[in-house]
């Protein structure tokens, strides 16, 4: 039984699924917005919001936790020094999902996932 087990499988093995979500998270935090499918965006949103909330602490421990999730020191520096201070007064809800319509090939709902200004 999988009662109360969160997250989606995306038809991928666990290591590939983690790599997919990690790369989407890196892309969003470096470019401030990405275009992806709705289900992927919903899963990435959770990870990004948790990362930004951790970054608001700004101490060494927070940086190490973010580095563990992102594996990129320049991106960690950007998140802690540029992205997190923008949301200092905000208690969550750092991202926005906007529907763009179905993708032509397979009719998957495409969305734009972006950081709120």
Query: Rounded CA gap, 110 and 117, in Å?
Result: 21
What's the rounded mean pLDDT across residues 12-41? Answer: 97
- The CATH number of the structural domain formed by 14-115 is 3.90.1030.10
Whether 28 shows a pLDDT value over 90: the answer reads yes
Q: What is the pLDDT of residue 14?
A: 95
pLDDT band at 104 (very low <50, low <70, confident <90, very high): very high
- CA-to-CA dists, residue 49 to 90, 104, 106, angstroms: 11, 30, 29
Interacting residues of 3 by C-beta distance below 8 A, sequence separation 6+: none
Average pLDDT in the chain:
96
Q: What is the pLDDT of residue 117?
A: 86
| Residue 37: strand pairing partners | 110
Query: In whole angstroms, what separates CA 65 from the centre of its chain?
Result: 15
Whether 39 shows a pLDDT value over 90: the answer reads yes
Segment holding 49, helix H or strand E: helix 38-55
Percent of the chain whose pLDDT exceeds 70: 100
Query: Rounded CA gap, 45 and 41, in Å?
Result: 6
Q: What is the pLDDT of residue 2?
A: 87
């Amino acid at each position: 039984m999988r009662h109360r087990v969160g997250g989606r499988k995306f038809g991928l093995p666990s290591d590939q699924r983690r790599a997919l979500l990690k790369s989407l998270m890196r892309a969003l935090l470096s470019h401030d917005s990405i275009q992806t499918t709705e289900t992927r965006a919903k899963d990435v949103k959770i990870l990004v919001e948790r990362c930004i909330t951790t970054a608001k602490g700004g101490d060494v421990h927070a940086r190490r936790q973010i580095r563990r999730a992102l594996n990129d020191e320049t991106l960690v520096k950007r998140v802690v020094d540029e992205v997190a201070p923008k949301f200092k007064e905000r208690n969550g809800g750092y991202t926005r999902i906007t529907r763009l319509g179905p993708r032509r090939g397979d009719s998957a709902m495409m969305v734009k996932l972006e950081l709120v200004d």
